[in-house]
Amino acid sequence: MPPFYVIGNLKMNLLSREECDEYVSQLRREMTGKTFAHARGIIAPPVIHLNRFQHLPPGFTLAAQDMSQETKGAFTGEISPLMLRDAGVGHVILGHSERRMYAGETDELVALKTRLALKENLVPIVCFGETEEERRRDETVAVIERTIRTVFSGLSSLFAERVIVAYEPRWAIGAGVTPTMTDILQVKVYLRKLFSELYEPALAERIPVIYGGSVKAAVLPSVSWEAEMSGVLVGGESLYPRELIKMMSEAEARFNSQD
């Protein structure tokens, strides 16, 4: 049975070493006596603090919030995937809505980063989603198709099934609102259709699709298993280790009830 991902994107928070150490300590305390066979935690701290997150509790792995499309060279301010791998990073978030909004990242750039991440043995978490204006113009499907075809074009089956796809409607980020379960499920169904056109149906079913956008424990059922998603990308709530563990526990209980 595939895992259920609970991915915490800490963004530009935890501004000191002390805050980071306290966060990891809280996470370890909350995990005391708990083991998860199905739920998998992933934490993405600010890159400057990756070294403070080297001792995550069992069941958690380390991610980066972004990376360069280059491995080395004269690229001031960029972070190489080789640096991330050396720092113990296993996953990397690519194309997050805030990178697209503030840094002008495009699907083409995200595609380059995705290929390089896979080549360097990092698991890319590829984000995409429509803006409020695109939603009003009923362009959600067009946005999905453009991103998926750009990122996965020419990507081998072996690489494709290693990608985690994160649908994050940009109008929901930080707004405290979420799409309905039906809205999310329709996106999931369309994604499967696209993947089936690009790859064999069996592989299309194996590519994990998760949801991100104002995720809280209270809405977890409607944005995840009821919408047939394979996990969640958590923003603000991930700053509270107890909330992440609560989501993992609820997901684990859901899996166990189906055994």
| Catalytic residue list | 96, 168
**Nearest in space to 19 (alpha carbons), one of 250, 182, 248, 240:** 240
Q: Would you list the DSSP string of 25-37? A: HHHHHHTTT---S
Three-state SS for 94?
strand
3-state helix, strand, coil in the chain (%, to 5): 50, 15, 35
CA of residue 141 relative to chain centroid, distance: 20
DSSP bridge partners of 4: 39
Alpha carbon distance 97, 129 (integer Å)? 8
Question: Using CA atoms, how far apart are residues 130 and 118, in angstroms rounded to an integer?
Answer: 25
**Helix, coil or strand: residue 244:** helix
- Contact 3/38 with Cβ under 8 angstroms? yes
Q: How far apart are the first and last CA of the chain?
A: 10
* Dist. CA 163–CA 124, nearest whole Å: 5
| Rounded Cα–Cα distance for residues 90 and 122 (Å) | 5
